[in-house]
Amino acid sequence: MKRIHKRIVIAGALFLAALFLLVGRLVQIQLISTESFSKHNINLIDESVRQRTHSFMINEGRGLLLDRKGQMISAELKPAIILFPFIKEQKGAIDKVAAILDKQPENIKSALKRHEEPFVIADDQDQLTQETMEEINNLQLPGVYAQYISRTKHSPFAGALLGVTGQAPEIIKKKYPDKLEKGTITINTKIGKTGLQQAFDPFLISEGETKLIYHVDRSGSPLFGLDVKYLSPSNPFYPVSVKTTIDKNLQEIMEKSVKASHIKRGGAVLIDIETNELLGMVSVPYTSGLIKNQMLSRHAPGSVFKLVTAASAIEHQDLASGRTFDCNLGIDGKEAKHPLGRLDFSESFAQSCNRTFGLLANEMVIENPKRIDEYAEKLGLSGRSGWRGQVYHYQDFAQFPEEEAGNIWGASYDKKVPLAISQTAIGQKDVQVTPLSVARMVAAIARGGTVKEVKAATEIEYKNGTTFLSFPDHKTEDKIEPYTAKKLQMLMREVVTSPKGTGRALNELPYAVAGKSGTAEKGGSEASNKWFAGYFPAGQPKYSLVIVDLDYKGGANGVLSAYSEIVKQIYKYDKKNK
């Protein structure tokens, strides 16, 4: 009997303990941790409301990226007819909507059965005229709305440059704790993950969605009648727009030309020489994921780097003047793979003789070990090229946060090794620069020697069109002498006009081109980096264009074909828009 009584006591105690645990858990859920439940900090009140709320987002509230003419390039605005599921309870409503949209009522009924939340029944921009949308709204049917809806674009157009958005709760918590605390954003708010979306995220991040909402009961029926509310942020200044420097038409020309050239890995950069603003940027391959922008990544430039060596030789007692060089030899003094005979300095540049620039570099480094470094900096290849500075309360704001810094040397000991010096002089060994910085260098030479930061945006505008902030030009000390720039311009023109010049395929274009080719070998790989960096029109420089194929394996030169096509199409575009 005692044993049975003991078991009853133990069972009762366990039951009471379980009951207390259950009550404690309920107290925690209902009273203590309602706003930060579990390790994920779930707001149970918000989740409860969310489960009883059906909504349709009209605009996610994220700021816009505009091209230089003010056209949207990061989002698209399109007309749509939105239906709420409870429309099926209204007699005759479906027939009226179907008649206006020229649809069968049965098709709309079928769509309603498949959706438990609001959805778009029509978004054909050709079909949905302004008159059609007004006709729908004039019906004044609860649950039927004609609205222009905005959606972020994840399209190939300037994809690598503009970047992508997505959810990143951990970054949200770390980067925007104040906004989270105020409730203007949630941990699920989309942020910029790459490109300009990432760079300008502090300004573009949503201050609240614009949406249509209604509340439902357990069965999904409207909780407060057929009352759909329109909710939008109350701040009249947001969302803002970032006015970029991108020319939508030129960007499209570049993308089509690079695609037609069959460059599989590489891309193109186009800069306005007068303003040093980025007009277009293409990086391939591109997917909507987080793949690197090759135009902001550093690569071996090959003979394009001879512009640096040439500038130094010209500026210091004109080392190359009156001399000829045995271009049957390579930089190692052995027979060259492609013997070119005996050439003077200009011919060596046009035909890209490695021997000439290897010898000159060694002479200069003996005199001053920092000579190549100094001219790489003067021409904008060291460090980063994109606009950086204080913006608002951001001390080091970068318009190209993904941009990698250029590199010239590996070990400092290399400056004492003749072969290493020669390899560096022709853009091999440890030389690594970005296509953006090469385009910047070319622009500096074309404008007379002064280096400027590259801008991708000029200003940020409030919702009402007034300027929130702008990005002023920064003065720079980096420059070469005007005489040196003029001499380099002449050398670059000969690359195209000389019968044996490496850019002679570009000599018959409607815009005269000046530039420098480059081929950089990659150790242990059959592929090489194939470059052409130049500007046009040669007489009145307007555009700096750099194209690179990072996976060139011989055969047809896709870089020159793409360069040629872009120049032709820009000429037509300029002529049409004079």
Return the ∠ at Cα 256 (arms to 434 and 526), rounded to 5°: 50
Token pair of 335 as six digits: 């027979």
For 110, half-sphere exposure in the C-beta direction (CA atoms, 13 angstrom radius) is 5
Q: Which residue has the tokens 């909504």?
A: 55
**Is 321 in the active site?**
no
Enclosing H/E stretch for 43: none
Residue spans of alpha helices (H) in 115-239: 130-138, 159-162, 169-175, 177-182, 195-199, 201-204
Token pair of 182 as six digits: 């105020």
Measure the CA–CA gap between 454 and 434, rounded to whole angstroms. Answer: 13
Spell out the residues 6+ positions from residue 352 whose beta carbon is closer than 8 angstroms to its own.
303, 306, 502, 517, 518
Return the ∠ at Cα 284 (arms to 192 and 280), rounded to 5°: 70
Catalytic, out of 150, 261, 303, 422 = 303
CA dihedral 304, 308, 309, 315 (to 10 degrees): 140
Computed on alpha carbons and rounded to an integer, the radius of gyration of the chain in Å comes to 32
Spell out the residues 6+ positions from residue 36 whose beta carbon is closer than 8 angstroms to its own.
42, 43
Measure the CA–CA gap between 426 and 404, rounded to whole angstroms. Answer: 21
Cβ neighbours around 365 below 10 Å, total: 24
The catalytic residue positions are 303
